[in-house]
Structure 1
């Protein structure tokens, strides 16, 4: 299944070039498993869906670690019918039949609880779009139930959900939302904004 993300990183500092180029080195461990392409607008990650959010986490933490205000914007997708099939995008395990929502929510909570901290606090707002399935609202409501029971849930906002906390469990929650909700072989998209060290932090 094709999966990937277009990521743009915005350090709010005169030294934005050094921060962006330095942070890109955090993707080096993922290069054997991903196709990574960077241009003047964004960095494309194409590869296993279960590794997308760890890669984004490491990139963002590397940019934010110095204490400067940094924002990451990403469009994330899996199963898009308009993209070519690519063996590099195969999930690590066969998805098989989809478990019921309550079981997926419980497993998502376990994954977030097990996520190691990074020491970098972040704030996130995102929207999940399970596309092309007749029961998409059930999947969205299930994801919302998961998030509201998560320790990184901050609040609901118009058109999106806000998370807050250490980057480790926050990015784990994002990964669980992306991987566990929506049809396993269907098209799912996620729109994401991450901020750290903001002078107007709420």
Structure 2
């Protein structure tokens, strides 16, 4: 299964070039398992779907060190029918997509509870798009139910849901939303914005 993310970082600091380029070293532990391409707009990650959110977490936490206000925006996708098969693209492992929605919600909650605490608070908003699924609204509502019970739920907004808390549990919750909902063979996209150290946080 083809899975990946286009990621852009926006540090609100005069030395943003150093911050962006320096934070890319946080992706070094993933380079043997990912195809990683950086250009003037974004960084592409293609690889195992279960490792996408840990990689994005580490990148964002690295860029947010020293109380820097930094925003990460990502478009995340799995199962895109327009992409070629690639040896680095792998199916989702250890996930029972054929299970009832309630069972998947419980499994997602259990998996997210084991997330490490990284002592970096973040706020995130996400929109989930299960494409080509006959019961896509059931999957979306199931995901929202999971997010509300996750322990990092912020609030529902027009077109998205917000999360707040430590980066470890927040990114783990985002990863479970990406992995557990939508058709296992279908195309799923997720639009994501994560902010750390905002001077206007509420």
Structure 1 length as normaliser, TM-score?
0.97
Residues 92 and 179, structure 2, Cα contact 8 Å, conserved in 1: no
Which consecutive aligned stretches of 4+ in structure 1 deviate over 3 angstroms post-superposition?
94-97
Q: In structure 2, list runs of 5 or more residues that go unmatched.
A: none
Which residue in 2 is equivalent to 1:156? 156
CA distance in 2, matches of 1:160, 1:122: 16
- How far residue 93 of structure 1 moved from its aligned partner, in angstroms, is 2.4
* Contact preservation (8 Å) 1:72, 1:193: yes
Q: Does 1:123 align with 2:130?
A: no
**1:23-59 alpha-carbon deviations (Å, 9 max, x no partner):** 0000000000000000000000000000000000000
Distance 1:99 1:146 in 2: 15
Counterparts of 1:53-202 in structure 2, within 5 Å, are: 53-91=53-91, 93=93, 98-202=98-202
Change in CA separation of 1:68 and 1:84 when aligned onto 2, cut-off 3 Å: same
Counterparts of 1:81 and 1:95 in 2: how far apart (Å)? Answer: 21
Contact 2:95 2:180 in 1 (8 A): no
Counterpart secondary structure, 2:84: coil
8 A contact 1:95–1:184 mirrored in 2 = no
- What are structure 1's unaligned runs of at least 5 residues? none
Separation of aligned partners in 2, 1:162 and 1:96: 26
Change (3 A) 1:174 1:17: same
Q: Secondary structure at 1:87's aligned position in 2?
A: coil
CA separation in 1, counterparts of 2:2 and 2:130? 15
Most deviating of 95-104 and 51-60: 95-104
Superposition CA RMSD, Å = 1.1
Q: 1:50·1:91 contact (CA, 8 Å) conserved in 2?
A: no
Quote the residue 1:32 is aligned against: 32
Q: After superposition, what is the alpha-carbon deviation per residue over 1:94-135, rounded to whole angstroms, capped at 9, x for unaligned? A: 756511111110011111111011111000001000000110
Judged with a 3 Å threshold, the aligned counterparts in structure 2 of structure 1 residues 97 and 110 are, in CA distance, closer, same or farther, namely closer
Q: For 2:144, what is the secondary structure of its paired residue?
A: helix
Q: What's the secondary structure of 2:36's corresponding residue? A: strand
